Amino acid sequence: MSEKLRAAILGGTGMVGQRFISLLADHPWFEVTEIAASPRSAGMTYAEAVQGRWKLDPLPIPEKVRNIVVKSVDDVAAVTADVDFCFSALNMSKEEIRAIEETYAKAEVPVVSNNSAHRWTPDVPMCIPEINPEHMEVIPFQRKRLATSRGFIAVKPNCSIQSYTPALAAWKSLDPYEVVVTTYQAISGAGKNFQDWPEMNGNIIPYISGEEEKSEKEPLRIFGKLENGVIVPSAGPVITSQCLRVPVMYGHTAAAFVRFRKPADKDELIAKLREFRGIPQQLALPSAPKQFIRYMEEDNRPQVQLDVDYERGMGVSIGRLREDTVYDWKFVGLSHNTIRGAAGGAVECAELLKVQNYIQHR
């Protein structure tokens, strides 16, 4: 048996699925041994299935997966026969995804998902491993509900929140209680590039379906507590948001204003950002950035073009922290939406689940 844990990628042919494939090409703990997608791709080799729609150029399709024959996600028995767990990056209706992910979990295959379908299922952990690793302790309660011994679902949050929620977590002891945030979101967040979506050239679209609700509510679940077998969201901070689609390929930027109950000066706020670290850093998980949050002193940073790949896309860049005349402080944050905000964040969750012994060899 391979030393590495064998993973299936559900939705492996899509934008986020391709990122999973690329990030896992040389992963020290995990290897991709199955890829599943829609019946449109089933039966083709992976290289055939993504021909003409590989979106990560100049990164190549990894050699190890080129000849894997893509299976249909519906063919659960075949996809799960020889894997230890799976990542999910499907693009279907919420109801369909909810049902499919639960079917995989009930087939005793842990599911680490990028999708929003289960983010509010009370016994499903939604995790940013640096911030709320203890939420994984809800898994035994979920297993009880699903009547499984190894299967469960764990999710990562929406891609937008990683550009400001880590700062709020770093400042938790100062009790931030009101946040106004505007996000400027890349087109890859919609699974598209400029060829697929030419009307985004030189354009801004002031609407992303469902995004404002996610940006306002998901941080509260991340800051929540495990009580009586479910995650109870935190009551604050109150967050209000606007989410705009901007002509950027990768990188979600956030401009945020914050009110704190406890006062702090700029040096203290910056020190808290720089010192903030979690279990991924302590255990040096393979995907963990060494420095989770960096503070940039230059007035014109962070910039998408220069800074989105910080720490291989797993770090968060914060800048322009200054006092505000209406709120207390304001800042700008940037994170990579398909790495930290999607596939990379899910891979880091799976690494955490492995060290916590929730994902093991079959």
Catalytic residue numbers, as ranges? 159, 252
Instruction: Give the residues across from 254 on adjacent strands.
Output: 183, 333
Given the complex with ligand NAP, which of 191 and 247 has the nearer CB atom?
A: 191
**How far from 298 is each of 60, 282, 312, 318, 320, CA to CA, in Å?**
34, 29, 21, 11, 8
Report if residue 89 touches ligand NAP, rule: CB under 6 A: yes
Report if residue 159 touches ligand NAP, rule: CB under 6 A: yes
Site string for ligand NAP, 124-143 (x = CB under 6 A): --------------------
Given the complex with ligand NAP, which of 37 and 61 has the nearer CB atom?
A: 37
Given the complex with ligand NAP, which of 12 and 133 has the nearer CB atom?
A: 12
**How far from 230 is each of 94, 126, 154, 241, 284, CA to CA, in Å?**
21, 11, 13, 27, 29
For residue 135, which of 28, 222, 263 has the smallest C-alpha distance?
222
Residue 73 CB coordination number (10 Å): 26
Type of residue numbered 150: R
Number of residues that bind ligand NAP (CB under 6 A): 26
**What dihedral do alpha carbons 266, 269, 274, 278 form, nearest 10°?**
180
**Token pair belonging to 81:** 């026969």
Given the complex with ligand NAP, which of 17 and 319 has the nearer CB atom?
A: 17
Report if residue 341 touches ligand NAP, rule: CB under 6 A: yes
Given the complex with ligand NAP, which of 116 and 291 has the nearer CB atom?
A: 116
- Give the max Cα distance, the chain: 62
Return the range that interacts with ligand NAP (CB under 6 A); candidates 11-19, 128-136, 213-221, 274-282.
11-19
Residue 96 CB, nearest approach to ligand NAP (Å): 7
Residue 86 CB, nearest approach to ligand NAP (Å): 13
Confirm if 264 and 138 have CB atoms less than 8 A apart: no
Residue 187 CB, nearest approach to ligand NAP (Å): 9
Confirm if 136 and 112 have CB atoms less than 8 A apart: no
Alpha carbons 344 and 350: distance in angstroms, whole number: 10
Given the complex with ligand NAP, which of 89 and 180 has the nearer CB atom?
A: 89
Return the range that interacts with ligand NAP (CB under 6 A); candidates 137-145, 285-293, 302-310, 334-342.
334-342
Return the range that interacts with ligand NAP (CB under 6 A); candidates 13-21, 259-267, 282-290, 312-320.
13-21
Residues 6+ apart with CB under 8 A from 178: 237, 238, 258, 259, 327
Report if residue 188 touches ligand NAP, rule: CB under 6 A: yes
Residue 37 CB, nearest approach to ligand NAP (Å): 3
Q: Would you tell me which residues interact with ligand NAP (CB under 6 A)?
A: 11-17, 37-38, 40-41, 73, 89-92, 114-115, 159, 188-189, 191, 337-338, 341-342
